[in-house]
């Protein structure tokens, strides 16, 4: 019989204290702001607590699973995510003019969320599998693996998520050693093709970008969300209006205030100082992720840890940029604060993988 | 392309470089983000704070209750009563047509109700409840209340509505309120009252309601309401109560007013009764009247057409705006002018052949009595209304002297009464004619002006003021309709002091002489003997007739043969008791024929009512006043 100490050791050892404690702080912040954003709706908070239960369980499962075991499932997971995306395109549920959700019995899945994590894992797995024989052809293959799901998500249409999936995949290519010249070339050609991209955008997407340049131009239309969230943040000031005291969210001026725009609620009630606490905590997690990536024992571990950390930052930055009006409105949840089960579970899976990479860094070496 | 990850050491170094590069990028982006947040939350905090407050707080106006209008004894002439409307909330009802069909089994719903409902529905975009029927009757309310449960989203709404309980009585005087139209809104904007009228739908349009809009409206209150994004009020933050409008006590006696209106019978015309010592208007009649209640909610087309197209012109305020030749009612003033200006003595007599003509001219200015009145002095000229006397007198006075004298009595000038739209009338002069027609004045025009014909036009109100001034021994009071204003908040009553317009430079002995003559007008041998018969008080009066169509030379006016609308207007001015005047009146009966026979009896009834008490109208014993007295 293992002693309690042994049990605790086996149970808690994989949970990196830095990551775990910071996650706890952020989770607590998330529940506090959810209670306010939902209009003191305890049921909604409890439902988020249930989501957190799943998320922490998923994190623990990932943390105790050595990277080489994770590696074995990345291609099947990628394949499943891809099939799900195709299924969405064929018989997905239309909501808000986009086909994003898939009904599986009582569950409502958003396969694009799954792809956010499946793609970097699969790409990292691919580079690990190629081992020391990596050539430029592998980058082409990886690019194709990246572009297929991105194209499917663009078609939904969900340009924001597609860009986020593309970025998470791209980080793997970047860490795998994609030539600086190629990246420079991609950047240059990307800038050059902007007029063409503009031409291909949907009207509402163009409007969002134009609105970003001047949100007051169309305060009741496309600029409404941005303007109202800017008012929420701006009126919050340095220290905020206080918990449950935000007028913008409580009087329904803020759209999507439990999900994508939750940061506006947070900023209105806790002010710039509250936002700093959140941002610093996120930077702690990301920086810790980078350290873990650096000490990763295998290319797979390093690539996955680097890409997932960077993806975490990307979500944080894009969401905060959107809410504060420097990026166009893109449907991206804010890690830890936004309501929603799928995004929470994928977030904690990422954290769990980081923990696993850290915990198993020596095991593999031995 | 080179192969990567060949050398583990180099590979590690490369990976670290890439991590560091990205970390640098992360920090750069975070600084950018923070800069943005500092700009929003520290530098622009004030601006966004204001926007957030404006977002959540809306100011809702609270409309004050309009002041009441009461007569001098406290009888209510205009008040606010609850009315009950049936409203449908379109958001809670899908099939509106079927719903209205079902409702029409309980309450009367006309096709015009349906039309108005559709129109209002389009205007509100189905966002707020829309009335389907206004002013439900008691039985309809009861019938609907019992079946209310069958109609979710259909409710009875109570609201205050202006009510004029006397209906057509005093309608021209009280006026009415109506919905604020574009012109009203523009006027309010110009006066800086836009905010004050936020929430107010109605505004005084005419009469007292129009002129005293400021006093009657009150002060709009407001409530600061916290609203959500859809504009729904969530809670009240603060409230400033409205101040109800002031109550107005009129100088008018409603009973007298109604008695006067009744006295007109089917006749069209106007009557203004003034208390000579104060200028208080005791009655202000323009017949026929109209029901001001029709205008409050916006008049419907049928009623509007009926009022607007009626040949009786019920919307025309004859007392204030009707312009009529004063006819022989000018004669007492002519006599006063002659005495004051020294052109005649009271004893001076003329021999009246029945006409006046200029030396060497064959044109005859005829007297109303063929063959004339014989030897006529000033007294008799008033009692019998001798035209010839005044033709000659006018010729001696000259039109400009007459103009100046009559202007003192207010002819050709607005009285300044406290309702709007008054006409100024006209008293001609040589200067006026030059300006108006670029022509010289003719002597003949002076002659006919002597008997109140020609260019002279007066309103009944002007005539009443002139006779009241005469009755008040030359002290002219400004006629006014409101004698007290009650502040509804404090209950304090502010009396409006009578305003002395001017004192005319008249000799009391001259005034007394003219009054004596006017008393005899009402006695046997006078032109209004019939109307004066049996009065237990002294009346001083003067009849008048105003031509509607000219009578050619050599022709005789024949009442019987003249179409009703072309008959002469009958006029009568009087005051009573003659020795201590309490009431002065001017009466005009359109196409009434003779002042003595139609206008004077109306004045008599008014005097009886006012001086003898309500409802006491002794039947005048029809003394033999003679055929002549029936004429002017």
CB B282 within 8 A of CB B272: no
3-state secondary structure B241-309: CCECCCEEEECCCHHHHHHHHHHHCCCCEEEEEECCCCCEEEEEEEECCCCCHHHHCCCCHHHHHHHHH
Q: Give the C-alpha separation, B352 to B367, whole Å.
A: 9
What is the pLDDT at residue A257? 84
Using left for φ > 0, alpha for ψ between -120 and 50, and beta otherwise, residue A201 falls in: beta
Using left for φ > 0, alpha for ψ between -120 and 50, and beta otherwise, residue A176 falls in: alpha
What is the pLDDT at residue B59? 77
Q: ipTM of this complex > 0.85?
A: yes
Listed residue (B85, B57, B59, B65) closest to B200, CA to CA: B65
As a whole-number percent, the residues of chain A with pLDDT over 70 amount to 92
Cβ contacts from A onto B, under 8 A: 130
Residues of A in contact with B52 (CB under 8 A): 231-232, 234-235, 247-248
Q: Which residue stretches of chain B have pLDDT < 50?
A: 1-5, 615-631
Q: Give the C-alpha separation, B9 to A27, whole Å.
A: 39
What is the pLDDT at residue B552? 58
Interface test with B, best of A234, A240, A298 (most B CBs within 10 A): A234
Listed residue (B283, B356, B235, B279) closest to B610, CA to CA: B283
| DSSP 8-state class, residue A242 | -
CB B325 within 8 A of CB B412: no
Of residues A177, A235, A252, nearest to B48 (C-beta): A235
Where does the pLDDT of residue A212 fall: very low under 50, low under 70, confident under 90, or very high at 90 and above? low
What is the pLDDT at residue B279? 93
- List, in sequence order, every beta strand (DSSP E) within B530-628: 540-546, 569-576, 583-589
Chain B nearest C-alpha distance from A300 (Å): 12
Collapse the DSSP code of B214 into the 3-class scheme (helix H, G, I; strand E, B; otherwise coil) and give the result.
helix
CA distances from A106 to A47, A87, B618 (A): 15, 17, 97
What is the pLDDT at residue A363? 58
Where does the pLDDT of residue A106 fall: very low under 50, low under 70, confident under 90, or very high at 90 and above? low
Q: Which residues of B are annotated as catalytic?
A: 328
**Regarding the domain delimited by B254-612, which CATH topology (the fold level of the hierarchy) does it fall under?**
Beta-lactamase (3.40.710)
What is the pLDDT at residue A269? 94
Interface test with A, best of B21, B41, B53, B224 (most A CBs within 10 A): B41
Sequence-distant (≥ 6) Cβ neighbours of residue B363 within 8 angstroms: B357, B444, B553
Listed residue (A266, A272, A282) closest to A338, CA to CA: A266
Q: Name the pTM for this structure.
A: 0.67
Task: End-to-end CA distance of chain A: give it in Å, rounded.
Answer: 27
Average model confidence (pLDDT) across chain A: 87
Cβ of A267 and B41 within 8 Å?
A: yes
Instruction: For residue range A18-77, list pLDDT tens digits in order.
Output: 999 999 999 999 999 999 998 888 999 999 999 999 999 999 999 999 999 999 999 999
Token look-up 């260019």 returns B455
CB B100 within 8 A of CB B117: yes
Q: Which two tokens stand for residue B259?
A: 């008695």
B563 and chain A: CB distance < 8 Å anywhere? no
Residues of chain B with CATH 3.90.1310.10: 59-250
Cβ of B55 and A132 within 8 Å?
A: no
Where does the pLDDT of residue A83 fall: very low under 50, low under 70, confident under 90, or very high at 90 and above? very high
Cβ of A230 and B48 within 8 Å?
A: yes
Collapse the DSSP code of B404 into the 3-class scheme (helix H, G, I; strand E, B; otherwise coil) and give the result.
helix
Statement: B59-250 belongs to CATH 3.40.190.10: no
| DSSP 8-state class, residue B520 | H
What is the pLDDT at residue A348? 95
Q: Give the C-alpha separation, B390 to B381, whole Å.
A: 8
H or E stretch covering B535: none
> With 0-12 CB in 10 A as exposed, 13-18 as middle and 19+ as buried, what is A25?
middle
What is the pLDDT at residue A118? 93
What is the pLDDT at residue B588? 95
Residues of chain B with CATH 3.40.710.10: 254-612
Cβ of B32 and A326 within 8 Å?
A: yes
Interface test with B, best of A131, A184, A231 (most B CBs within 10 A): A231
- Average pLDDT, integer, range A296-302: 90
């Amino acid at each position: 019989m293992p002693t309690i100490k042994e049990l605790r050791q086996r149970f808690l050892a994989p949970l990196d204290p830095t990551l775990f404690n910071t996650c706890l702080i952020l989770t607590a912040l998330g529940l506090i702001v959810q209670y306010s954003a939902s209009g003191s709706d305890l049921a909604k908070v409890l439902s988020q607590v249930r989501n957190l239960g799943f998320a922490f369980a998923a994190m623990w499962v990932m943390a105790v699973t050595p990277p080489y075991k994770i590696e074995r499932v990345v291609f099947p997971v990628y394949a499943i995510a891809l099939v799900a995306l195709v299924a969405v395109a064929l018989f997905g549920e239309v909501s808000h003019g986009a086909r994003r959700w898939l009904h599986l019995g009582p569950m409502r899945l958003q396969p694009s969320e799954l792809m956010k994590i499946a793609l970097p894992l699969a790409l990292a797995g691919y580079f690990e599998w190629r081992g020391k024989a990596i050539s430029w052809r592998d980058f082409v293959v990886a690019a194709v693996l990246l572009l297929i799901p991105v194209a499917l998500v663009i078609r939904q249409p969900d340009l924001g998520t597609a860009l986020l999936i593309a970025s998470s995949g791209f980080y793997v290519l970047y860490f795998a050693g994609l030539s600086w010249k190629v990246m420079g070339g991609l950047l240059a050609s990307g800038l050059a093709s902007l007029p063409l991209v503009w031409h291909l955008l949907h009207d509402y997407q163009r409007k969002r970008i134009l609105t970003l340049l001047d949100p007051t131009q169309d305060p009741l239309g496309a600029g409404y969300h941005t303007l109202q969230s800017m008012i929420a943040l701006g009126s919050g000031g340095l220290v905020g209006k206080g918990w449950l005291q935000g007028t913008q969210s409580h009087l329904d001026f803020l759209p999507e205030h439990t999900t994508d725009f939750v940061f506006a609620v947070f900023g209105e009630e806790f002010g710039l100082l509250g936002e700093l606490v959140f941002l610093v905590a996120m930077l702690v997690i990301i920086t810790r992720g980078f350290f873990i990536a650096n000490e990763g024992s295998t290319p797979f571990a390093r690539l996955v840890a680097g890409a997932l950390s960077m993806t975490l930052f990307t979500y944080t930055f894009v969401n905060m940029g959107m809410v504060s009006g420097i990026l166009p409105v893109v449907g991206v949840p804010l890690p830890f604060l936004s309501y929603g089960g799928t995004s929470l579970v994928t977030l904690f899976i990422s954290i769990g993988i980081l923990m696993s990479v850290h915990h198993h860094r020596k095991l593999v070496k031995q | 392309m080179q192969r990567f990850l060949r050398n583990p050491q180099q590979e590690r170094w490369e990976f670290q470089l890439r991590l560091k590069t990205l970390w640098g990028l992360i920090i750069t982006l975070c600084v950018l983000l923070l800069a943005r947040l500092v700009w929003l939350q520290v530098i622009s905090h004030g601006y966004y704070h204001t926007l957030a407050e404006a977002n959540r707080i809306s100011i809702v106006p609270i409309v004050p209750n309009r002041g009441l209008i009461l007569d001098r004894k406290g009888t209510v002439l205009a008040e606010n009563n609850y009315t009950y409307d049936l409203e449908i909330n379109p958001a809670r009802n899908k099939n509106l047509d079927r719903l209205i069909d079902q409702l029409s089994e309980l309450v009367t719903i006309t096709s015009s109700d349906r039309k108005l409902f559709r129109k209002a529905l389009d205007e509100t975009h189905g966002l707020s409840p829309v009335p389907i029927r206004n002013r439900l009757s008691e039985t309809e309310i009861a019938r609907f209340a019992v079946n209310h449960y069958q109609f979710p989203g259909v409710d009875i709404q109570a609201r205050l509505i202006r009510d004029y309980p006397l209906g057509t009585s005093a309608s021209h005087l009280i006026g009415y309120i109506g919905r604020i139209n574009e012109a009203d809104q523009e006027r309010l904007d110009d006066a800086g009252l836009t905010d004050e009228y936020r929430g107010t739908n109605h505004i005084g349009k005419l009469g007292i309601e129009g002129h005293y809009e400021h006093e009657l409206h009150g002060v709009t209150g407001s409530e600061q309401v916290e609203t959500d994004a859809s504009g729904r009020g969530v809670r009240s933050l603060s409230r400033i109560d409205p101040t109800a409008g002031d109550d107005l006590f009129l100088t008018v006696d409603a009973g007298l007013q109604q008695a006067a209106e009744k006295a007109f019978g089917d006749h069209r015309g106007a009557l203004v009764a003034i208390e000579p010592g104060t200028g208080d208007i005791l009655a202000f009649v323009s017949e026929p009247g109209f029901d001001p209640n029709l205008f409050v909610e916006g008049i419907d087309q049928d009623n509007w057409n009926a009022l607007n197209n009626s040949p009786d012109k019920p919307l025309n305020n004859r007392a204030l705006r009707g312009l009529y030749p004063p006819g022989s009612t000018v004669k007492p003033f002519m006599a006063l002018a002659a005495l004051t200006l020294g052109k005649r003595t009271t004893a001076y007599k003329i021999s009246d052949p029945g006409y006046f003509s200029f030396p060497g001219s064959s044109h005859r200015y005829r007297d109303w009595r063929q063959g004339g009145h014989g030897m006529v002095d000033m007294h008799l000229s008033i009692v019998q209304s001798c035209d010839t006397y005044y033709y000659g007198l006018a010729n001696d006075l000259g039109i400009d002297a007459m103009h100046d004298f009559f202007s003192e009595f207010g002819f050709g000038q607005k009285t300044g009464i406290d309702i709007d739209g008054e006409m100024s009338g006209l008293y001609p002069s040589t200067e006026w004619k030059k300006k108006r027609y670029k022509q010289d004045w003719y002597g003949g025009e002076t002659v006919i002006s002597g008997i109140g014909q020609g260019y002279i036009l007066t309103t009944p109100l002007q005539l009443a003021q002139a006779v009241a001034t005469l009755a008040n021994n030359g002290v002219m009071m400004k006629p006014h309709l409101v004698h007290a204003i009650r502040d509804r908040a404090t209950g304090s009553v502010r009396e409006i002091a009578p305003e002395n317009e001017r004192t005319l430079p008249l000799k009391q002995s001259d005034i007394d002489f003219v009054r004596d003559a006017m008393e005899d007008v009402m006695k046997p041998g006078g032109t209004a003997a019939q109307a004066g018969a049996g009065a237990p008080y002294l009346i001083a009066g003067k009849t008048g007739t105003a031509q509607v169509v000219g009578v050619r030379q050599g022709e005789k006016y024949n009442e019987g043969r003249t179409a009703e609308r072309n008959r002469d207007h009958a006029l009568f001015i009087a005051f009573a008791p003659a020795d201590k005047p309490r009431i002065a009146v001017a009466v005009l009966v359109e196409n009434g024929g003779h002042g003595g026979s139609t206008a004077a009896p109306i004045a008599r009834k008014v005097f009886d009512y006012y001086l003898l008490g309500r409802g006491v109208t002794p039947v005048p014993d029809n003394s033999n006043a003679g055929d002549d007295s029936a004429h002017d």
